[in-house]
Amino acid sequence: MTWFGFLPVLVLAVLLMYVPGAAIAACLKFRLGPVIGMAPLHSTAAAGLAGTLAGTLGLPWNIVAYLAICAVLAVLAVLLTRAVAWPTEDFSWRGMLPYLPVIIAVGCITWRFTQLVGSPSNPAQVFDNVFHLNAVRYIIDTGNASSLTLASLQGVSGMDAVYPAAWHSMAALLVQLTGVDIPTAQNALNLVIAALIWPASCLFLVRSVISRRSAALVLASIVASAQVAFPYLMIVWGPLFPYALAVSMLPAAIVAVLAVTGLSGNHGGNRMAGAASLALAIGGLAFAHTSSINTLLAISTPALLFLWWQKAKRLAPWHVPKLRHGLFAVASVVMVGIAAVSWLKLRPAPYGNWGPTVKPGAAVGEILTVSPMQLAIPAVVVSVLSISGLYVVIRYRKHFLLAACYSAVAALYVVAAAAPTGFIRDAIVGTWYEDTYRLAALLPLFTTPLAVVGGLHLWDQWRKSRLAVRAVSALERRVALVRGRGPLVVASAVGLSVTLLATFVGPTSHYVAGASTVYRFDAQSEMLTPDEHALLKRVADHVPPGSLIADNPWNGSSMAYAYAGRQVLTPHLFSGPDPDRELIDERLKFEPADPEVCDALRRTNVQFVLDFGSAYMLDLGGSKDFPGVTDIGDSPGFELLDSEGPKAKLYRITSCG
């Protein structure tokens, strides 16, 4: 598929992520800005809720289920705000002008995304995408998009089967509605997340908390597109697509928290509508990626502590009855308890595979230079602007909460990057698997608005200077076309210069050029090569529905499920214990006619083997656990049905009659 042919899929992804959620926000009586800003969070909450309810009730996941829940939520929103008048502002195209700066980020990030991915149908050839691709197929195949059971794909059950499904549900809808393959649907959704939802959420945060000036929104759009840590890092590392969806929406969730606590302007509607929107936002984050709940808790803590202190001061003993003191104390203890339970329970099992990478001082330096994870090139423009923003906060005591939230995220990053392994490290950053990459992706949440604060300060100082006045006057004297429009021309030139310096001279070019190997699709690809892909296209011609294919997921053969729609014995690199599967994986090639092996084949309905050889995605111990289904060659008991190139082969098992 060409990028031009990709456009209809991309437009549909935008509609799915924005229109239903915008309808819900509009029914909460929000104004246009908050309707657009909160739409992805509301849509994601609706998708997650619809998938879970439909799965529980045995109903299939499709566009009808999604839109039905959106309609229910919209009706509930109208009932909740029935006493509130609809916003009086009339829609006009002029009213959309404040949101046009997002086009800068859309253009810059889309350009980098196409360079990174190469083709709309190229999959990310790395570890976690084995699960993501097959999980989307699982939803399409079973009709079950419940977050309570998605991880059952790995052969687990109960609480182990819980996995946030909203990202996979949206990708499945794209496949159902357009007929594209799953990698193409993935890339469409990820491009919308990276190039639209993320910068639009940043603009919403800046517009709500800092300034509505055009200069502020232009700066926000430039800075949002100029940082490697987000969005680029999360569509390469892992890849962590659901986590990327959650992070892209966090700026809007921050606005919702500040609005409900009264620390920023409200959305319109009333306080109840704001609380309902925040509840939906939390739901959207949870259905996108569970860790984002603790992320929101961490970055909201400074604001909540400030609010608590303000309330506590008003409850001085000489002002109010002692009953209110008791209620306030009880409420405080309850909230701390809820936060503690969330922090300790909404996390994976202890995972100490990723330890410290740098010294604490180096980690702080990475934060200040906007070059986390030892990026070779610092983001000089963004770094200068964000440090200027910190100076403005300290010097003029403006936007202090932003700096406090930034400090909270920075502290988490320093712990992940520099703290020694052990109980304390796990207690603080265990929510994120103690993974520095995941925490690096959170830094742009506050680097962006602080850079806007610093950029506005520098711009205003320059505009007032004699040099600026002389430059504008000289320009208007010498160029007749700009007379009377000198300040606008100069502002445009500065904006263009900053855009070029921040997005094209900074680290993004270097990073994207190196990371594009993750999406490389050639004979050296780590998960799937062109030969293997060609064979997968023909697998359905040989394997009837309902029959299982034995596979080694470490060599890409498990992609028969995602690409051909035929079930495989091991759909993910890590799977729950299964004696039959383990017996087949270990002994099939060596003892194909053994009665125990044949019984295991019959119980699992495995009749075929897809063998992609011993070139593995990662040369880890798990890749060696499948000797019975790897490098079959001319072993007796197997009939070669099809092959492509020297290594990609499909066999029928004939040894058991």
Residue listed under structure tokens 């995972």: 351
Residue 88: exposure state from Cβ atoms within 10 A (0-12, 13-18, ≥19): exposed
Residue 455 in contact with residue 385, Cβ under 8 Å? yes
Strand order in the sheet with 548-550: 548-550, 606-611, 648-653, 638-644
Residues 433 and 539 in one domain: no
pTM: 0.94
Quick one: pLDDT at residue 162? 93
Residue 330 CA to residue 290 CA, distance in Å, equals 28
- On whether residue 212 sits in a domain, the answer given is yes
Among candidate residues 393, 399, 434, 433, the one with its CA nearest the CA of residue 414: 434
Quick one: pLDDT at residue 268? 62
Quick one: pLDDT at residue 231? 94
Phi, psi (deg, nearest 5) at residue 304: -70, -40
- On whether residue 492 sits in a domain, the answer given is no
- On whether residue 69 sits in a domain, the answer given is yes
| Domain edge (last residue) among 416, 437, 458 | 437
> Hey, what are 437's tokens?
């990459």
Quick one: pLDDT at residue 483? 61
| Domain edge (last residue) among 419, 437, 455 | 437
Residue 54 CA to residue 65 CA, distance in Å, equals 7
Q: Which portions of the chain are predicted below pLDDT 50?
A: none
Per residue in 625-653, pLDDT tens? 899 999 999 999 999 999 999 999 999 99
- On whether residue 379 sits in a domain, the answer given is yes
Residues 541 and 409 in one domain: no
Residues 296 and 403 in one domain: yes
Residue 645 CA to residue 69 CA, distance in Å, equals 48
- On whether residue 509 sits in a domain, the answer given is no
Query: Which amino acid is it at 136?
Result: V
> How many structural domains compose the chain?
2
Return all residues near 390 (Cβ < 8 A) that are at least 6 apart.
Answer: 403, 406, 450, 454
* Residue 521: strand, helix, or coil: coil
| Domain edge (last residue) among 395, 419, 437 | 437
Quick one: pLDDT at residue 95? 63
Residue 258 in contact with residue 209, Cβ under 8 Å? yes
- On whether residue 116 sits in a domain, the answer given is yes
**Segment (H or E) for 607:** strand 606-611
Per residue in 525-542, pLDDT tens? 989 999 999 999 999 999
Structural domain for 90, as ranges: 3-437
Quick one: pLDDT at residue 573? 87
* Residue 585: strand, helix, or coil: helix
- On whether residue 46 sits in a domain, the answer given is yes
- On whether residue 467 sits in a domain, the answer given is no
Largest CA distance in the chain: 95
Quick one: pLDDT at residue 316? 66
Residues 192 and 316 in one domain: yes
Residue 165: exposure state from Cβ atoms within 10 A (0-12, 13-18, ≥19): buried
Quick one: pLDDT at residue 478? 62
